[in-house]
A and B are shown apart, each in its own frame.
Chain A
Amino acid sequence: MAAITSRLARARVRLTHRRTWWLVFLALVAVLYPYLVRPYQLSLAIEVLIFAIFAMSLDILLGYTGLVSFGHAAFFGLGAYLLAYTTLGITNNLFVTLPVVVVGTAAAALVAGFFAIRTSGIYFLMVTLAFAQMLFSIAIRWSSVTGGSDGLSGVTRPAMGIGPLSYTFDSRTSFYYFVLAFFLGSWWLLRRIVESPFGWTLRGIRENEQRMLALGYNTFRYKMAAFVIAGIFAGIAGMLLTQFFRHAAPENLYWTTSGQVMIMLIVGGTGTLTGPVLGAAVIRLLPNYLSTYTDRWQTVLGLTFILFVLFAPQGIMGLLRRFQERSEDREHSAN
């Protein structure tokens, strides 16, 4: 018995070691990346990181709380417009724009959540979709503020600091680091959240809300909190994309954007936070490579998606886990 435990412990230590080395390697690649690739590939990386934040935020709802939102673009687009409006009207200083985006999306999530969280299942899906489409209508309609179908362009890259000590992330490379910082920050924060008692309560709600209610949890408040957190991080992703493209477009609010982030999440693997990152990378990069081989890349994308749903519902993360378990088994039997 003791022998087995110690062997398991040794295996675990070996695994942790391996993971640490992997992380060091990844960090190095991430830091040196701008110097290793061409500008176009750097742009792709920036987009992937931004969509990774967006997909992670949806994971809080869909993966951890079991709330299937089909209107998550509402907060993504809202973040985009809030940033554009503030930057064009007041300043590009992050100390102003970030609070505006965070407070604005949180407030919107509170309002939308008040309606949406009373419903569940397919009704929740529809109410969230409706909310996003309503914002889309407003963005198209209220052109004096939103620029109508053209959106808001001429947004400058963000700046940080005060007076002479301020720095603008103007170059692509500096903006890459800016986004990378946001990505790592979001990843760390969200990880802290899902591993906290609060995060475990969310999982409890996902598995069996009735039981959580019976245990005395006010599940409405927990779901609301998850909705607001997810909204804020989606807003931050929208903010970053707008700073990158220097443009806020109504498409950011459209349901296709909600659908795309949902696909990223499913392909990557829900309820893992790492999955959405992988999913964002695959879904954002795949069309770039596929389109050189075939015009029917959307079909290939759809097929990939369907195959994941049918055969790997846990996404890429599930596949990796299965692979890892198998190799661990082999190590064990070898010992």
Chain B
Amino acid sequence: MPDYAAGENTITSFAHSFVNAGGEIIGVQRTPFPNMGDPAPFMAEIADAQPDLVYAFYSGGAAVTFVKAYADFGLAGNIPLLSSGFMVEEDVLPAQGEAALGVRSGLHWALLLDNPVNKAFTAAYKERTGRDANVFAVQGYDTARVIVEMLNRVEGDTSNVDKMVEVLPDIQFESPRGPFRFDAKSQNPSQHIYLREVREVDGVLHNVIIEDLGEIADPGDNSKDLQV
């Protein structure tokens, strides 16, 4: 995982659930952030540890570097790779190519997610930009939507910040990711999480949804509660 706050939160959450479910963690690697440089040393360490499963959290450049090196060193196919969905998102998948085949990931969205809002969104995005949408585009879209909904509710009065926070829990809508609302307690998004696997569909690599894990509230910043 990359050595920074979001990496730490994601890994902590995974480790927490993993251990509770009876898993055993035999090692954790924190790699330089934002980019890890030459990934080879990490691959050698993974090969040396011989785990049954590798969970990784990367995004952007580091995600491509990691996934490709994982395949280059012959680890792909031998040790299953599990990750947060950002690691094999549509923005990096073309660069990863076949190296990403079989990677499983959990995320609150997928390009092929079958709902009317998503169909409309992905089609409009492609028409406008010429590229497939990715989770960051969805997040940007939803964020703008939340801001608009919030402004509507306070009738454009931005002087009272507390009031703006107060209306947050009332905001609910159908997002490309499915139903979207805020968790009343943590004020983090509460949404469906999908288990996805990279497969070839009509000659193109995609994250295919293999299971809807149901609505889950984002645990948010848990670095103070849990430790790996």
A residues with a Cβ closer than 8 A to B are: 140-141, 143, 147-150
A150 to B, closest residue via Cβ: B5
Asked if B5 contacts A147 (CB within 8 A), the reply is yes
- Would you give the shortest CB distance from A136 to chain B, in whole angstroms? 11
Asked if B8 contacts A143 (CB within 8 A), the reply is yes
Cβ–Cβ < 8 Å partners of A147 in chain B: 5
Cβ–Cβ < 8 Å partners of B8 in chain A: 143, 148
Cβ–Cβ < 8 Å partners of A140 in chain B: 3-4, 33
Given contacts A143-B5, A148-B8, A149-B4, 13 further A-B contacts (CB under 8 A): A140-B3, A140-B4, A140-B33, A141-B3, A143-B8, A143-B223, A147-B5, A148-B4, A148-B5, A149-B5, A149-B6, A149-B33, A150-B5
Encode B153-192 as 1/0 by CB contact (under 8 A) with A.
Answer: 0000000000000000000000000000000000000000
Bound together, the chains give a CA A176 to CA B8 distance in angstroms of 38
Bound together, the chains give a CA A140 to CA B33 distance in angstroms of 8
Bound together, the chains give a CA A149 to CA B9 distance in angstroms of 12
Cβ–Cβ < 8 Å partners of B5 in chain A: 143, 147-150
A149 to B, closest residue via Cβ: B4
Q: Supply 8 A–B pairs (Cβ within 8 Å), ascending by A.
A: A140-B3, A140-B33, A141-B3, A143-B5, A148-B4, A148-B5, A149-B4, A149-B6
- Would you give the shortest CB distance from B218 to chain A, in whole angstroms? 16
B223 to A, closest residue via Cβ: A143
Bound together, the chains give a CA A149 to CA B8 distance in angstroms of 11
> Which residues of B from 4 to 36 have beta carbons under 8 Å from A?
4-6, 8, 33
Bound together, the chains give a CA A140 to CA B8 distance in angstroms of 12
- Would you give the shortest CB distance from A141 to chain B, in whole angstroms? 6
Q: Which of A141, A148, A150 has the most CB of B within 10 A?
A: A148
Cβ–Cβ < 8 Å partners of B33 in chain A: 140, 149
Bound together, the chains give a CA A197 to CA B64 distance in angstroms of 58
A148 to B, closest residue via Cβ: B5
Bound together, the chains give a CA A37 to CA B5 distance in angstroms of 39
Bound together, the chains give a CA A148 to CA B5 distance in angstroms of 6
Cβ–Cβ < 8 Å partners of A148 in chain B: 4-5, 8
- Would you give the shortest CB distance from A20 to chain B, in whole angstroms? 44
- Would you give the shortest CB distance from A58 to chain B, in whole angstroms? 26
B4 to A, closest residue via Cβ: A149
Bound together, the chains give a CA A141 to CA B4 distance in angstroms of 7
Bound together, the chains give a CA A150 to CA B3 distance in angstroms of 12
Bound together, the chains give a CA A215 to CA B6 distance in angstroms of 57
Cβ–Cβ < 8 Å partners of A149 in chain B: 4-6, 33
- Would you give the shortest CB distance from A151 to chain B, in whole angstroms? 9
- Would you give the shortest CB distance from A39 to chain B, in whole angstroms? 13
Bound together, the chains give a CA A140 to CA B5 distance in angstroms of 9
Bound together, the chains give a CA A211 to CA B223 distance in angstroms of 58
Cβ–Cβ < 8 Å partners of A150 in chain B: 5
Bound together, the chains give a CA A141 to CA B32 distance in angstroms of 9
Encode B203-228 as 1/0 by CB contact (under 8 A) with A.
Answer: 00000000000000000000100000
Bound together, the chains give a CA A147 to CA B197 distance in angstroms of 34
- Would you give the shortest CB distance from A163 to chain B, in whole angstroms? 28
Cβ–Cβ < 8 Å partners of B4 in chain A: 140, 148-149
Encode B32-55 as 1/0 by CB contact (under 8 A) with A.
Answer: 010000000000000000000000
A143 to B, closest residue via Cβ: B5
Bound together, the chains give a CA A250 to CA B33 distance in angstroms of 12
- Would you give the shortest CB distance from A209 to chain B, in whole angstroms? 38
Cβ–Cβ < 8 Å partners of B223 in chain A: 143
- Would you give the shortest CB distance from A187 to chain B, in whole angstroms? 36
Bound together, the chains give a CA A143 to CA B5 distance in angstroms of 8
- Would you give the shortest CB distance from B210 to chain A, in whole angstroms? 32
B30 to A, closest residue via Cβ: A141
- Would you give the shortest CB distance from A142 to chain B, in whole angstroms? 11
- Would you give the shortest CB distance from B225 to chain A, in whole angstroms? 14
- Would you give the shortest CB distance from B22 to chain A, in whole angstroms? 29
Instruction: List the 8 closest A-B pairs by CB distance, nearest first.
Output: A149-B4, A148-B5, A150-B5, A149-B5, A148-B4, A140-B33, A140-B4, A149-B33
- Would you give the shortest CB distance from B98 to chain A, in whole angstroms? 32
- Would you give the shortest CB distance from B10 to chain A, in whole angstroms? 13
Bound together, the chains give a CA A143 to CA B30 distance in angstroms of 13
Cβ–Cβ < 8 Å partners of A141 in chain B: 3
- Would you give the shortest CB distance from B32 to chain A, in whole angstroms? 8
B34 to A, closest residue via Cβ: A149
Bound together, the chains give a CA A40 to CA B141 distance in angstroms of 26
Bound together, the chains give a CA A43 to CA B167 distance in angstroms of 29
- Would you give the shortest CB distance from A159 to chain B, in whole angstroms? 21
- Would you give the shortest CB distance from A234 to chain B, in whole angstroms? 25
B221 to A, closest residue via Cβ: A150
Bound together, the chains give a CA A112 to CA B4 distance in angstroms of 26
Bound together, the chains give a CA A149 to CA B6 distance in angstroms of 9
Bound together, the chains give a CA A148 to CA B3 distance in angstroms of 9
Bound together, the chains give a CA A141 to CA B6 distance in angstroms of 13
- Would you give the shortest CB distance from A156 to chain B, in whole angstroms? 15
